[in-house]
Structure 1
């Protein structure tokens, strides 16, 4: 590959990332892998990022109660999330305190969930004050 082609490829990647980051609603597809939910965001360089420290429990509860999906090999769903409220949301969180380069969030139902540094890949201003979630098939 010539140098000029490489520059064009990098520009395309930068354009895609800029477009992606400027969205206000994001969609990922968590899937069950091993013993937790994980997600991929290939255009951001994120692969099999696990949900841990309470986030996996909250997602399991949402998947079970809202979608009837049990955590098992092959299980997956769509997760829409935003730093702003949107119609049809199922759960909201408020940012609490940082720990291990991530942030703890507390839901209105008093569930604690830790969101990893991968979260900053979606939000250009870092971790949002509030986080809103919706699950879909």
Structure 2
């Protein structure tokens, strides 16, 4: 907490795992309040996993509970047009995007990964596998 504001960072896979565990324990509504509480919720790595319909519904509930109340940052390597595939349901994806984009600026960062830049400067190409290592 800084300057009286709270933030919570979680990856999408950890968010889904958490919501599924809380649902199994019968305390999902309480957990939704937890995710609705911070001034800023950051959901990282959106796009690395395809959600089931149940997971997409849970994600929609989290986003809807924050709509008009708290800010959300989502990081993704996907385009908005991939939302239906990611969420396994175009209607749910549209509902989520509608709420996320309602008052939101969109920052689209293009170019090389900043993680690779140092490796490239050092002469290492991260796309080339090392034949001396087991790359499984």
**What TM-score do you get using the length of structure 2 for normalisation?**
0.24
Higher relative contact order (CA 8 A, sep 6+): 1
Q: Name the structure where helix makes up a greater proportion of residues.
A: 2
Q: Name the structure where strand makes up a greater proportion of residues.
A: 1
**What TM-score do you get using the length of structure 1 for normalisation?**
0.24
